[in-house]
Each structure stands twice: as C-alpha cells, then as structure tokens.
Amino acid sequence: MNKVVANAQEAIQGIEDNMTLMLGGFGLCGIPENAISALVQAGMKNLTCISNNAGVDDFGIGLMLQQRQVKKMISSYVGENAEFERQLLSGELEVDLVPQGTLAERIRAGGAGIPAFYTPTGYGTEVAEGKECREFDGRMYVMEMALSADFALVKAWKGDKHGNLVFKGTARNFNPMMAKAGKITVVEVEQLLEPGELHPNEIHVPGVYVQRIFQGVDYEKRIEQRTVRQA
Amino acid sequence: MALDKYGIAQRIAQELQDGYYVNLGIGIPTLVANYIPENMQVFLQSENGLLGMGPFPTEENVDADLINAGKQTVTTLAGASLFSSAESFEMIRGGHIDLTVLGAMEVAQNGDIANWKIPGKMVKGMGGAMDLVASAKNIIVAMRHTNRKGESKLLPSCSLPLTGLGCIKKVVTDLGVFEIKENAFHLLERAPGVSVQEIREKTAGALVASDDCPEMKLA
C-alpha cells in the first residue's frame, strides 16, 4: 500500500470534465490550496464543486471560476466574489444554496452510508420546496439527501503516510466530513509524517478514508478579515 | 433618543446568564461580546468550529487558521474547543446552545424571520442562519426598528423569503425590547427618551404597549 503521491499534479490524476468535487474550507481557511492550483493548471471544465464558499476573486475557488471551470456550486454562502456574481447573473454558473448545517450533515451522511435524513432546518422556507416533510413528535422536518463526490480535496495540518489526519484551529471545518464522502479522497498536508509519529489518541480522521496524501508546498493562507487589537 | 448599535448590543447583554453557550451573528450581535459582565462566564460559539472564542488577536498572535464565522481572525480562551462544521451544527440543531443572537431584515408578529434574501438582488446565501433559527432554545433578534426608507421591520407578516417559521421570541431594536407572543409584539421596555407613541407610529405589526412601559436601564 502506498498512498503517498509526489505532488498536487499527481494527486489530482483522474479528475475529468463534468465530475463532482468536494473542496474543504470555510472562507479561505483550510482550503486545499495546492490541489486548487493544480486544477487551474490542468483546466478541467464543467465541474460541480461542493464547498461551503466559493473563494474570493483571485484566490481559492475564485481561481477556478476565473478559468470558467465550474458549472455548478453547492454552497451555503457565496458573498465575497464579484466574478462569481457576474457568472451567476449571466447564467454561466448554477448555484445550489444549502443551509450550512444541512450542507455539513449531507456531506457527513454521504460518508457515513446514510442516504437521507430529516432536519428541522429550512422547514416552511423555500429550501424545503419540493422536498418530503414529515412530523416527528409534533415538529416538522425536511428530508435532505446525502452528498458524495468523485473526488474530495482536503487540507489537513499534519498527516501520516497511512492517511491519518490532524487539523489545526478552525481550518478543520468541512474537511473531516469531505474526507469521508469522496470516492477518492486526496489530502494535502503541511507536515507529512511517518506512521507512529502521530499518537493514535490525537487523530481526527483515521486513514481508512484517505486514498492519496501529499506534502503541500508554499501555503499562502490568505486572511479575509485581518482583525487585531492593541497589545 | 434611539439607541445606537452599541446600545442595542449592551441591552442584549443583559439577557446573558452565567454559564450560557451563545452564538452571536455577524453585525450588531457580534458587539454583544463587548458587554459580557465581568463576573459572568459565557462561552461564545462560532459555527465554523470553535467554542470558547476570545477577542481579536494582537498583531503578533494573528493565526490564519483561527477565524470566526465572519472570517475575522480571533483567539481561543482557556477551555476552548475546536471541531468540525458537522459537530458545530450538532450543537446548534441539537438545542445545546442556550442563546442565539442574530440580525434580521424583517420579523413578523407570529415570530417568523426573514434575513437572507431580497428578490431581485444577488443572493449570497443563508450561511448558518436557517440552522440557527430552526432549533435554538432562545433567539433574540438585534436590528434597527425601521429600514433605510423608514419603514417598520416589525410586521404583521414577512414579505421577504423566510429564514425560519415562528421561531423568534424577543426583538431588541433601537427603540425598545419586544416579546413576541399571542401573535403580537409586546413592548417590554422602551429606549431611553423614546416615547410609546413613537414606537406605536413606527411599528406596523400588532403591538401591545402600555403607556407606562418602563424605560430600559443601561449601565
């Protein structure tokens, strides 16, 4: 068994036009920077991207939007991106807006072998239109379907060569669920370690979910809102 | 005089209780964190995966991997925990968060809220708002009483697409504090110097207000 690949270019082998991808991250925090760069270079088109946000104009998924690689976004919030807005209004881009908790749970369900579930979120709103609604214990719930993807592109802080992963800070966000919901899960890490260097107690995502892992390079980790206080 | 956004936040902070786990939305709600009484321990939840959120970092402590739901750099307090988005919404949907404070474009007298979409304008998305209002035990809306055109945001029914049904129990505006029950806004307190008459004039939804309604007390 060898899950380790040399770089992002090798890691995204097999991603083709029209595929569905999951990309981890919240805003620009915890996004798979290296894999996105490789996708932009490789130029696949008509991709469906499942990601909480759509990056900003010149970073993250915004780079893929610039190259018109994305056909559809499935996200909870897409506010920070003018190119996104332009493509959406001109009809070049489709967007499916999903409440953030429902998005997280649909992805979790996709990796957990649960085809659908009931949630109170969105009942009585347009999010519930056309969906089965059902009463449990006097409250109404909406049935939501699991999400899965051809490839999940995940960013972790540390990972070992078996694919065991540890995340840092709020860069965890959607990454753990996506790692489990990809048919092929590709992980980039800041520190690629030997098996045993991570203590079993500290592992956030066991390696069983991970098919490919590589040492990422040149992380920019751009900050959207740099807010500081005086020392 | 009507409250400014800091006054609204200060009044909402009076609703906090020791040991509360609280989610503060973007905008005025975020300011509530500045008025947590010193003798009280309140844990702030940020739905991108942090419980025990601290203040903004000093310049040398800025960490790109530690942000809040508004994508601002933040810190963790002693006893904080970090988790995935799925776990974050387990806390929210599962009713483990004691209080949610969020902004709104419209609130109806039956407790409906609209705060995510204006037809004809670019829709940015609902983020976590629909999840937050679907199951929080206690939700307070922090908003201005009227919109930029001077029209009441407290309405008989919402005209904008809904975020949640019948979920809002309390509204704090620049003019007063309102409890929603029995299909009406019940005025509990008025802002310092604001008359009941002015509140009546600026509230389109059903209003229950007595002429001797007390004035709110801000420290």
In tens digits, what is the pLDDT along chain A, a chain of 231 residues? 899 999 999 999 999 999 999 999 999 999 999 999 999 999 999 999 999 999 999 999 999 999 999 999 999 999 778 888 889 888 999 999 999 999 999 999 999 999 999 999 999 999 999 999 999 999 999 999 999 999 999 999 999 999 999 999 999 999 999 999 999 999 999 999 999 999 999 999 999 999 999 999 999 999 999 999 987
Which pair of structure tokens corresponds to residue A62?
A: 């915004």
SS3 B92: helix
Percent of chain B predicted with pLDDT > 90: 95
Q: What is the mean pLDDT of chain A?
A: 97
Q: Do B55 and A229 touch (CB under 8 A)?
A: yes
User: Is beta strand B176-181 parallel, antiparallel or unpaired with respect to B184-190?
Assistant: antiparallel
**B136 pLDDT band (50/70/90 cuts)?**
confident
Q: Check residue B120 and give its pLDDT.
A: 83
The predicted model gives B184-191 an average pLDDT of 98
Q: Check residue A32 and give its pLDDT.
A: 98
Report how far apart, in Å, the C-alpha atoms of B83 and of each of A204, B49, B87, B133 are. Answer: 9, 5, 6, 21
Q: Does B15 qualify as catalytic in the annotation?
A: no
Contacts with A, B 120-139, CB within 8 Å? 122-131, 134-135
Q: Check residue A89 and give its pLDDT.
A: 84
**Strands (DSSP E) found in chain B:** 21-24, 43-46, 50-54, 75-82, 99-102, 106-108, 113-114, 139-142, 154-155, 170-172, 176-181, 184-190, 207-208
Contacts with B, A 72-131, CB within 8 Å? 75-80, 85, 88-89, 97, 99-105, 107-108, 119-127
Q: Check residue B215 and give its pLDDT.
A: 97
Catalytic residue among B47, B59, B87, B198: B47
| CATH for the A8-115+146-215 domain, from 3.40.50.300, 3.40.50.720, 3.30.1950.10, 3.40.1080.10 | 3.40.1080.10
CB contact, 8 Å: A199 with chain B? no
Q: Do B123 and A227 touch (CB under 8 A)?
A: no
Q: Give B52 to chain A, closest Cα distance, Å.
A: 12
On the question of pLDDT at B169 being above 80, the answer is yes
B18 CB-near residues (< 8 Å, 6+ apart)? B39, B40, B41, B42
Tell me the residue type at B167: C
The predicted model gives B196-216 an average pLDDT of 97
On the question of pLDDT at B1 being above 90, the answer is no
Provide the residue ranges of all domains of chain B, joining segments of one domain with +: 5-174
Spatial contact of B53 and B77, defined as CB atoms under 8 Å apart: yes
On the question of pLDDT at B137 being above 90, the answer is no
Residue A198: name the closest of A162, A173, A152, A155 by CA: A162
SS3 A153: strand
Place of tokens 């083709």: A16
The predicted model gives B136-161 an average pLDDT of 96
Q: Hey, which residues does B190 pair with through a beta bridge?
A: B176, B215
Q: Could you give phi then psi for residue A5, rounded to 5 degrees?
A: -115, 160
Place of tokens 């809904």: B162
Residue A175: name the closest of A121, A134, A213 by CA: A213
Per the rule left: phi > 0, alpha: psi between -120 and 50, beta: everything else, B145 is alpha
The predicted model gives B137-149 an average pLDDT of 95
Cα(A98)–Cα(B99) distance, rounded to whole angstroms? Answer: 23
Chain A partners of B56 at a C-beta cutoff of 8 Å? Answer: 227-229
Q: Give B148 to chain A, closest Cα distance, Å.
A: 22
Q: Which one of B23, B46, B72, B131 makes the best mutation probe of the A interface by having the most chain A beta carbons within 10 Å?
A: B131
Residues B80-131: pLDDT tens digits?
A: 999 999 999 999 999 999 999 999 999 999 999 999 999 888 889 999 999 9
Residues A129-178: pLDDT tens digits?
A: 999 999 999 999 999 999 999 999 999 999 999 999 999 999 999 999 99
CB contact, 8 Å: A177 with chain B? yes
SS3 B66: coil
Cα(B136)–Cα(B98) distance, rounded to whole angstroms? Answer: 7
Chain B partners of A76 at a C-beta cutoff of 8 Å? Answer: 125-128
Q: Check residue B191 and give its pLDDT.
A: 98
- For the domain made up of B5-174, give the CATH fold: Glutaconate Coenzyme A-transferase (3.40.1080)
Chain A partners of B60 at a C-beta cutoff of 8 Å? Answer: 231
Chain A partners of B108 at a C-beta cutoff of 8 Å? Answer: none
Q: Do B64 and A223 touch (CB under 8 A)?
A: yes
